[in-house]
Amino acid sequence: MIFDPLMLIGIAVFVAFIVWFMFGRKKAAPEAPDQAQDSARESITAPLADEVAEPVSFFKALSRSRSQLSNSLKGLFSGGFDEEIREDLEAVLLSADVGVETTDWVLETLEERSKQEGISDPDGLLKLLKDILASTLSAAEVVVDESLNTPHVILMIGVNGVGKTTTIGKLAHRYQADGRSVLLAAGDTFRAAAVEQLKTWGERNGVPVIAQDTGADSASVLYDACESAKARGTDIVLADTAGRLQNKANLMNELEKIGRVLGKLDIGAPHEVLLVLDAGTGQNAISQAREFSKAIQATGLVLTKLDGTAKGGIVFALSREFGLPIRYVGLGEKAEDLRAFDATAFVDAMFAEASE
């Protein structure tokens, strides 16, 4: 059979198109921040393992933060604690995302206490540093009593893309495993994709989702959801909110209103306001926390994406500056990738030998 050249070119173009369609298309379309939730939806539609087969170990997931800090600290104190080492340590802490203020405080405290307590050997100094860092996390140890109120209402706040909706899905999974009944409230009424994403988590966990159309008043959706949970005798309401930054003033007004409106229910809601922060944003998380606390009083923090490239040191700065308990950490995208924050395990993991 003889192919004429035009036909060959036609076939080549067709094959190239098919190859691009199958493999190149995703990469060819860079994701705008606004589309983050659409991709989020895509990622949560991935099949969920039946059982928690291999939960991400806290330790393993922190390996990146861990190797950075522990490698740098290794041998740092071999010459005691002098001005030069102070500068080196400062650089290490800053690069681990501990932040300027908290780093200054840590260095001053280390200097003071090492003198007072007569510590100058490398092991002793390292232990002291660990103690000082851990002391910033004492607020993280608060225990919340979820048994007193029915429903116990947990409101998630935070900017777009930090992981609010995903954390709701993970918490629903967690509470259910704990034998609690759960209801999800689609308070992010800003975009249809947000409601859809929450519904997907609802289906996956087999829990009801109270939602209205896009553009509905967020506070009234959440109010209705709480009423409904009360009528059904549901234990836990997990309430989603919008996090758009494009219109900060509106967002903050909306959050204030949500707080006010929920307060009108006679159940003392919201019982928890969890500010969700992406650990990967580093020091920016601090300014987000400051901004949000002007609108509504958070009762705790959730730090997501600690499985990624986050350096982890932000935990110390956040705890020290806001005195808020870090309730949970996110270590991945799956339902089981959420851990209650354990300050001791966290510090140990950060200081563990990188070679382990």
Ligand X SMILES: Nc1nc2c(ncn2[C@@H]2O[C@H](COP(=O)(O)OP(=O)(O)O)[C@@H](O)[C@H]2O)c(=O)[nH]1
Residue from 68, 102, 165, 189 that binds Mg ion (CB under 5 A)?
165
| Backbone angles phi and psi of 45, in degrees to 5 | -85, -5
In angstroms and rounded to an integer, the radius of gyration of the C-alpha atoms of the chain is: 24
Residue from 164, 174, 271, 311 that binds ligand X (CB under 6 A)?
164
Which residue, 122 or 308, is less far from ligand X as judged by CB?
Answer: 308
Intra-chain end-to-end CA distance of the chain, in Å = 64
Query: Least CB distance from residue 333 to ligand X, whole Å?
Result: 4
Which residue, 65 or 150, is less far from ligand X as judged by CB?
Answer: 65
Q: Distance between CA 321 and CA 145 in Å, rounded?
A: 24
Binding site partner of 300, from Mg ion, ligand X, none, Cβ cut-off 5-8 A by kind: none
Q: Is 166 in the site for ligand X (CB under 6 A)?
A: yes
Q: How many CA atoms lie within 13 A of 36 on its CB side?
A: 13
Tell me the torsion sign for CA atoms 253, 168, 245, 321.
positive
At 330 the three-state DSSP class reads strand
Q: Is 288 in the site for ligand X (CB under 6 A)?
A: no
User: And the tokens for 262?
Assistant: 């929920």
Query: Which DSSP category does 233 fall into?
Result: T
- Residues sharing a CB contact under 8 Å with residue 297, sequence separation 6 or more, in sequence order: 259, 273
Closest C-alpha among 201, 199, 186 to residue 334: 201
Q: Distance between CA 188 and CA 131 in Å, rounded?
A: 41
Query: Least CB distance from residue 174 to Mg ion, whole Å?
Result: 18
For residue 272, give the H/E element and its range.
Answer: strand 272-278
Cα angle value 148/154/160 (rounded, 5°): 170
Binding site partner of 332, from Mg ion, ligand X, none, Cβ cut-off 5-8 A by kind: ligand X
Q: Is 57 in the site for ligand X (CB under 6 A)?
A: no
Q: Is 158 in the site for ligand X (CB under 6 A)?
A: yes
Binding site partner of 235, from Mg ion, ligand X, none, Cβ cut-off 5-8 A by kind: none
- Which span sits near Mg ion by CB under 5 A: 54-62, 191-199, 220-228, 317-325? 191-199
Query: Least CB distance from residue 254 to ligand X, whole Å?
Result: 15
Within positions 191 to 210, which residues make up the interface with ligand X, using CB under 6 A?
A: none
Within positions 13 to 42, which residues make up the interface with ligand X, using CB under 6 A?
A: 36-37, 39-40
Binding site partner of 308, from ligand X, Mg ion, none, Cβ cut-off 5-8 A by kind: ligand X
Q: Is 90 in the site for ligand X (CB under 6 A)?
A: no
Residue from 102, 165, 189, 288 that binds ligand X (CB under 6 A)?
165
Tokens 């192919």: give the residue.
3
Residue from 328, 330, 346, 349 that binds ligand X (CB under 6 A)?
330
Residues that bind ligand X (CB under 6 A): 36-37, 39-40, 43, 158, 160-166, 243, 276, 304-305, 307-308, 330-333, 337
**Residues found near Mg ion in the complex (CB under 5 A):** 164-165, 194
